[in-house]
Amino acid sequence: MQFHFKRRMLVLAGLGSCYPLVQAAQTTPSSVILVLGDSLSAEYGLQRGSGWVSLMTQRLQREQIHAHVVNASISGETTSGGRARLPALLQQHRPRFVVIELGANDALRGLSLRGTRDNLSAMVASSQAQGAQVVLVGMQMPPNFGKRYADDFARLFEEVAQARRCALVPFFLKGVADRPDARNWFQPDGIHPTEKAHPIMLDNVWEALKPLLLRRQART
């Protein structure tokens, strides 16, 4: 798998910050989808409304699935930051579905894989304890991080999903970062996908999320 990332730019971009794009829930608590992610979900460098989370709202409407999206993603977020913020978000929004897209910034900062795994597991467990179904979004590191590290990093998402019995997106950037012309699908920093990549990113998440939504809707 060939990535076209520059490590220095990866780190600088990963450590960036911006205000979270939070959309206040307007429907019943049982219909809320909470997205907890980093810059890949917070529309970093994109026109507002063009990221995959915003596109998911449009898809829900087209497919007449009654759910409302709360995007609590922040650029630069780590799993420890997400774990600290999650309890208040669960209490405030009472989501039935939680999409967790975190972990890449842990790797960029050189944080321990064990800590990342523990944080992800704790977030899935706390979401499930509140009655939410969880979609865990997996990521991969470029090869310059070393094959063993990259393999271990990708595997930890699988391990958490299996242990906690939650849905898994194996690789969030499938069809974007692994394509022959991948460099053309990323912003100049080499890490954040361009607008044209976000429909593909949504497709990757939607494959895991849609069955959960349909089962929930069939019961109501």
pLDDT tens digits for range 198-218? 999 999 999 999 999 998 887
Closest by Cα among 10, 44, 16 to 145: 10
**Number of domains within the chain:** 1
Domain membership of residue 134 (yes or no) is yes
CATH of residue 146: 3.40.50.1110
pLDDT digits (tens, 9 = 90+) for 105-126: 999 998 999 999 999 999 999 9
Domain membership of residue 205 (yes or no) is yes
CB 136 within 8 A of CB 127: no
Domain membership of residue 2 (yes or no) is no
Residue range of the domain that includes 26: 7-219
pLDDT at 23: 42
CA distance 82 to 38: 9
What residues are labeled active site? 39, 189, 192
pLDDT at 171: 98
Cα radius of gyration rounded to whole Å, the chain: 16
pLDDT at 146: 85
Structure tokens, 37: 């992610």
DSSP 98: E
Mean pLDDT computed over 6-15: 38
Mean pLDDT computed over 12-34: 50
